[in-house]
Structure 1
Amino acid sequence: MLRTGLRAAIGFSALAAAQFPPAPENVTILESKFGDGVRISYKEPGICETTPGVKSYAGYIHLPPGALADLDEDQDYSINTFFWFFEARENPEDAPLTIWLNGGPGSSSMLGLFAENGPCFVNWDSNSTYLSEWAWNREVNMLFLDQPTQVGLSYDTLQNVTVSLATGETALLHDNDTIPEQNATLLVGTLPSQNQNSTARGSRNAAIAMWHFAQTWFQEFPGYHPNDSRVSIATESYGGRYGPQFAAFFEEQNQKIENGTWQDSDGENYIINLDTLILINACIDRQVQWPSYPHIAYNNTYGIETVNETVYLEMVDAYEREGGCRDQINDCRELAILYDPDNRGVNETVNDVCYRAETFCTNNIRDRYLEVSGRNYYDLATVDPSPFPAPFYYGYLNQPHVQRALGVPVNFTQSSGTVARAFRAIGDYPRPGWLEDLAFLLDNGVKVHLMYGDRDFACNWIGGEAVSLAINHTGAAAFAAAGYADIVVNDTYVGGQVRQHGNLSYSRVFQAGHEIPSYQPETAYRMFMRALFNKDIATGEVDTAADPEYATSGPPDTWGALSEDPPDPLGFCYVRDLRSMCTEDQVRSVLDGEAAIVHGIVVDRNSTMLFPGLLEEGGGGNGTATPSPTPSSTASGTGSPSVTESRTEPPPSDTGVAGHLRAGEHVQTTLFLAAAVVFAHAILA
């Protein structure tokens, strides 16, 4: 660690100082026909997607208090939902639309945009970007949303705050308060209210708000005029609840509009033409997936025993024993079906029983892995702390020039503890209905594709496979009878294995953690395109619309495909994600004011090796830059799951495959104010 001498030379001047966002300017505001106070505000940012001729629009759909009353939703707060729409690079007027949602609950979809499948990545200067080769908006219009309200750049009301890095505490700043002097561990900024009662309480409530967003956006946003009206939803992690619930609710409303049982005098009668639901490393059904956690911790395809046999048996016992996890989830579900069948959180007894069930299961199953393994939650092949995918967008989205470009009045936060607590308070996690939603969608012609990176622990592939076999739809028997086929990515690389019958597929993706597009961008892109355009996931050569009974053939399981444990990448400390990316010594040096920090990166031997320009005077300027080329891995062979595909233009931070605090399931997240330097401590779920 470089300490006092170097710190005196560069100090903290290279850090983006925390600040209140500049007032939005040059924003177009449209009054909606859908009731008083419903508005659209937007502008063309001109950042991130810099492909000539390709437009993007960032803005908000503003819903006033009471806007959800027509669906019996008690909502006494404003909902200002941030969106960022990217036209397809090729033929946008004829391209379908995909809505991207990250999970959490409480995680911003800017993770997906800047670290997974969006048009650009952020350079290590946290101030400039470069284009992504495997962006999902190549041939598809993409709509990234921060939801529910208080997530990411979405808000209810604006609240100035201070954040202490040393304690993780957030304090509200009132009108007459003196703005404190900032330093490396005390920050100021503007955030949502932090009021747990001013956001959605569970996935069902969030679905209602999202349907109202969609009614306004699809009918009145002037930047979207499609010839192809197909709409798909792609989501990951807690999106295993969002995706099934949102898509099923949209389809239910479609049917009510079509049969005349839904009539809205304001005109919220738009049919959302649902096409595909894509679930990536999704935690969908707790009862089905909990048994997989001990299994993958002790016996996985990488040959890594992350826990010993004693801990493994303790985890199994916690699920199976009388009064344990399984029984408590059953109690939760029985009560929910009787007293809160729509999962709105209206019965406090149900809420409490479901909350206690989730708490018991996480404490006694998941947390045993966290306590003893030393491995990353989102990538069991990597030792903590982990540097990938690098969260440089935390700093980028709080640069004043970026805030001005987007027209946002709030500082960016990746994860909202307020939202996480609101969902946990009603026990949203273990409640029933998700499998039924998936069956309903499949039986109504919506394609469902499940994709799981095989290095993820948080929402692992073993549990994902179990979910795929537990969906009780009309094609369930034929799906279970299908075998596994290789996923052919290109002429030299097999990216995983897939079971598919008709409109349902389940894929295990090799050498990928929680966010498949970050680890295996080409594989993810090929699978995404095949799913949307009615091609088989295995080869992309079979027209599944013309052959609706198409089924893969091969072995009955995928355990025969073993993988090599990859080497750990060089780690570095990015102080905006201090508690997840930094060692205890690095955290201590930052809190003590001893760390040398440039562009939010602690200067040490690793970081100067990874980022050779770190100590050069200046650094990246505003706007878009091209990264210094770094060698990419070369994929070879046609069937080895141990080979990681190449990136032709990797970000400077692409130091290997690992994980960091991202769209996993959060038990509790204290505030991260990325405006300057810190993501305050998060407890993962």
Structure 2
Amino acid sequence: MAFRKLTNMTILVLILILILVITASSSKPVDTLPGFPGKLPFNLQTGYVGVGDMESVQLFYWFVESERNPEEDPLLLWLTGGPGCSGFSGLVFEVGPLMFDYAKSRGSGTLPTLKLNPFSWTKVASMIFIDAPVGTGFSYATNPESYGVTDTLAAAHNYQFLRKWLLSNPKFQKNPLYIAGDSYSGIILPILVKTISDGNEIEGGGKRMNLKGYILGNPVTDLSVDKNWRIPFYHKLALISDQFYQATKTNCKGQYINVDSSNAACFQNLQLVSECVRNIFTAQILEPNCFDAATKEAKAFGWDPSNLTHHNQLNLLLPNAFHHTPTWCRSYNYVFSYIWANDGEVQTALHVRKGIKMEWNRCNRSLSYTYDVTSTVPYHKYLINKDYKVLIYSGDHDAVIPYLGTMTWIKSLNLSLKRDWLPWYVGGQVGGYTLQYTQGNYNLVYATVKGGGHTAPEYRPEESLAMISRWLAGFPI
């Protein structure tokens, strides 16, 4: 009887373990995609990883193996910003192996056409693009309560995701691991890196993640610092005059946010500054100012976004709209992603679970989200005592998170300057400028990407690939 109970218990445990592994990470290969001609010339895998209580949160991801040497190349977990922007946005508009062929997609009457991105970061690394936090992209929760998320909870979910993903993909456990992302990832990512770092100190060798460092582009870091440097940035880029700037600086005492309501002179100066930059596209000040919301992007073409799931509406969206549009706007590119990702055949090809999403959005602005971290500078200060390689980069024409603010909080870490401000080159041309800091075995490289916007690889893909390739290989940028 005792033997029978032991046997039954053992069987039960094995079943539970099997169920845990199956539910924790379900993944399938993707060989072809609607809109792309022929078989994909790289290995793509999509799936879900369950996290949170009772795995009530199911995070969708896209995994692309390195196109060079997946056995040895680094593994990058890519966190897209927002919060609430899909990993597909990072994949298809920034650093992934696919991009939309806009010329062939316009007016075709079918799905948007995809082509290869010659400057994909998967040329040198394997990459996981995650739809996080829950409610982003194809990620979902099994109960309404689990849709509520905070900065710290989002980081915890990402940590659980990565642990379970590596458990299900053990051949990548020894690859050098880097956590990467941009924009609002600057809040989530340092929390995640600290969590991994602390976990590695507790876990045994077999469970430790091979974390080597992290990568952040135009990162939200400290809300006060980031926003306060916008006005000096506007001045440096000749968007406000010396007179306006000096008057504003004097009357506001260098503090341009959370201004004392009794400081009438400061408020008046700020109103003048606002008038000067009111029609500037802050993500890249040289490009036309258009629309930043999904519905506005779609309506810019005279198209009802409620028709997103019907790809035959492409005829209504594209053929004539471009002829009536006086200027090209980057946000128009994003409309293709809504049409493509909401198509039923596409979702079947991606192994998206049926009946769990009403509509895919590139960036979900209606998340049930609580911002509980206002600065991640303390996390960076904690991590400088670790043996990590760090790359922080800024598109230098981004007014959302100006490079001036990023440089300010980096200087507040009080690291030793190893290499002063120098240009770096791509094809014989200046790609940007770089600084290098150290403390012990901690090494931080800061780089600007000349002409880059808020998501630098989207604006300067060739330069960004050169930057990441050199940095990962241990060479000066």
Both proteins in one fold, TM over 0.5: yes
Report the counterpart of residue 521 of structure 1 in structure 2: 461
1:286-365 aligned at under 5 Å gives the runs 286-300=223-237, 303-305=238-240, 309=244, 313=248, 317=252, 320=255, 325=258
Q: Return the offset for 1:371.
A: 8.8
Any residues of structure 2 matched to 1:40-51 within 5 Å, and which? 40-47=25-32
2:299 counterpart residue number: none
Q: Which residue of 2 aligns with 1:218?
A: 166
SS of equivalent residue, structure 2 residue 191: helix
Q: Which structure 2 residues correspond to residues 577-656 of structure 1 after superposition, within 5 A?
A: none
CA shift for structure 1 position 483: 1.4
Contact 2:89 2:362 in 1 (8 A): yes
Shift of residue 312, structure 1, vs aligned partner: 7.7
Q: Given residue 81 of structure 1, which amino acid in structure 2 is its aligned partner?
A: L
Choose from 393, 409, 426 the match for 1:489: 426
Is residue 470 of structure 1 aligned with residue 448 of structure 2? no
- Inter-partner Cα distance in structure 1 for 2:283 and 2:47: 31
Q: Which amino acid aligns with 2:370?
A: F
Q: Residues 413-446 of structure 1, C-alpha deviation per residue, up to 9 Å, x if partnerless?
A: 1122233x5134x4x3x2x4x1222233232111
1:573-629 per-position Cα deviation (integer Å, ceiling 9, x unaligned): xxxxxxxxxxxxxxxxxxxxxxxxxxxxxxxxxxxxxxxxxxxxxxxxxxxxxxxxx
Alignment CA distance shift 1:400-1:254 (3 Å): same
Kindly state the Cα deviation for residue 529 of structure 1 after the two structures are TM-superposed.
1.5
C-alpha distance in structure 2 between counterparts of 1:366 and 1:271, whole Å? 53
Are the aligned partners of 1:105 and 1:423 in contact in 2 as well (CA < 8 Å)? no
**Are 1:92 and 2:70 counterparts?**
yes
Is 2:154 the partner of 1:206?
Answer: yes
If asked which structure has higher relative contact order (CA below 8 Å, sep 6+), I would say 1
Are the counterparts in 2 of residues 62 and 79 from structure 1 also a CA contact under 8 Å? yes
The one-letter code sitting in structure 2 at the alignment partner of 1:536 is P
**Hey, what does 2:289 align to over in structure 1?**
384
CA distance in 2, matches of 1:232, 1:459: 22
Question: Take 1:368 and 1:279, find their aligned partners in 2: how far apart are those partners?
Answer: 29
**Structure 1 residue 406 displacement after superposition:** 0.5
- Aligned with 2:391: secondary structure? strand
Q: 2:51 aligns with which of 52, 63, 68?
A: 63
Question: Using a 3 Å threshold, how does the CA distance of structure 1 residues 372 and 507 change in structure 2: closer, same or farther?
Answer: closer
Equivalent residue for 1:455, pick from 387, 397, 400: 397
How far apart are the structure 1 equivalents of 2:165 and 2:272?
Answer: 41
One-letter identity of the residue aligned with 2:347: Q
Residues 32 and 40 of structure 1 are in contact (CA less than 8 Å); yes or no, is this contact kept in structure 2? no
Letter in 2 for 1:380: I
Measure, in 2, the Cα distance between the counterparts of 1:284 and 1:366: 26
Matched, 1:281 2:221: no
TM-score, structure 2 as length reference: 0.75
Q: Which residue of 2 aligns with 1:121?
A: 99
Per-residue deviation, 1:283:
1.2
Secondary structure, aligned partner of 1:113: helix
- How has the CA–CA distance of structure 1 residues 227 and 146 changed in structure 2, closer, same or farther, with 3 Å as cutoff? closer
- Where do 5+ consecutive residues of structure 2 fail to align? 1-14, 106-110, 262-268, 291-327
Specify the code of the residue in structure 2 equivalent to 1:304: L
Q: What letter matches 1:325 in structure 2?
A: N
The Cα of 1:293 is off from its aligned counterpart by 1.1
Give how far 1:45 is off.
Answer: 2.0
Aligned to 2:311: none
Q: Cα distance 1:120–1:487, how it changes in 2: closer, same or farther (>3 A)?
A: same
Which of 256, 271, 278 matches 1:373?
Answer: 278
Is the CA contact 2:239–2:276 (under 8 Å) kept in the aligned structure 1?
no
How far has the Cα of 1:505 moved from its partner?
1.2
The aligned counterpart of 2:126 is 141
Percent identity, aligned pairs only? 23
Shift of 1:310: 7.5
Unmatched tracts of structure 1, length 5 or more: 1-29, 68-77, 158-192, 260-268, 329-363, 538-685
Structure 2 counterpart SS, 1:85: strand
Deviation sequence 1:314-365 (CA, Å, 0-9, x none): 89729738xx63899xxxxxxxxxxxxxxxxxxxxxxxxxxxxxxxxxxx98
**Contact 1:498-1:506 within 8 A present in 2 as well:** yes
TM superposition score normalised by structure 1: 0.53
**Equivalences, count:** 399
Q: 1:289–1:464: 8 Å Cα contact kept in structure 2?
A: yes
Give the residue type in structure 2 aligned to 1:89: E
Could you give the per-residue CA deviations for residues 352-386 of structure 1, whole angstroms, max 9, x where no partner exists?
Answer: xxxxxxxxxxxx98997489520112112223116
Q: How much is the aligned-residue C-alpha RMSD, in angstroms?
A: 3.3
**C-alpha displacement at 1:231, in angstroms?**
0.8
**Matched position secondary structure for 2:133:** coil
Q: What amino acid is aligned across from residue 146 of structure 2 in structure 1? A: S
- Superposed CA deviations along residues 229-254 of structure 1, whole A, max 9, x for unmatched, are 21111100111111211111111111
1:506-558 per-position Cα deviation (integer Å, ceiling 9, x unaligned): 11211111111111111111111222222222xxxxxxxxxxxxxxxxxxxxx
1:404 aligned residue: 348
Name 2:364's counterpart in structure 1. 416
Distance 1:393 1:98 in 2: 23
- Equivalent residue for 2:10? none
Q: 1:182 is matched with which residue?
A: none
Q: Compared with structure 1, are the counterparts of its residues 510 and 33 closer, same or farther at alpha carbon in structure 2 (3 Å cutoff)?
A: same
Larger helix fraction of residues: 2
